Amino acid sequence: MELSGKLTEELIAVAEPRRELYRLSDGEGLVLHIPPTGSKGWRFRYRFAGKEKMISFGTFPEVGLNEARQLRLEYRKLVKSGSDPSLFEKKKENLQKIPRIRRSSRLFCLGLMVVL
């Protein structure tokens, strides 16, 4: 699947805020939200289990156009395989919050031992 779309880095950089939120679409569910505050946030819109959903990728320029396109590609693969990308992200966040104690090359995490 090709990573190109309608948007360019130049078009995004010169996009000015308006009175109302507006969106610039790159296609295949990738949109850039531009609210009146002027921030530029990446969103991926998709359908899962018959419901429309949306997940955030971060803001431009911290997340560039090519990185957002790559994330869109990865998340489309997750949806195609029957996984919900928003649940995938929540699991990743929860794993990062788990306190870890390192003891002699073993990782103890919530009472579970994982040998490294």
In a domain, 2, yes or no: no
Q: Is residue 106 part of a domain?
A: yes
Residue 21 domain boundaries: 9-115
Residue 82 located in a structural domain: yes
Question: For residue 33, which of 6, 49, 9, 12 has the smallest C-alpha distance?
Answer: 12
Confidence of residue 99 (pLDDT cuts 50, 70, 90): low
Can you give the pLDDT at residue 30? 95
Total domain count, the chain? 1
Going by pLDDT thresholds of 50, 70 and 90, the confidence category of residue 104 is very low
C-beta separation of 69 from 26 below 8 A: yes
pLDDT digits (tens, 9 = 90+) for 38-78: 999 999 999 998 999 999 989 998 999 999 999 999 999 99
Report whether pLDDT(2) > 50. Answer: no
Mean pLDDT of the chain: 81
Question: Is residue 79 a part of any domain in this protein?
Answer: yes
Task: Output the CA torsion sign for 94, 45, 41, 36.
Answer: negative
Longest dimension (CA), the chain: 58
Is 3 a domain residue? no
The CATH number of whichever domain residue 36 belongs to comes to 3.30.160.390
| Global confidence as pTM | 0.71
The more confident residue out of 33 and 3 is: 33
CA 72 to chain centre: 7
Assigned domain for 4 exists = no
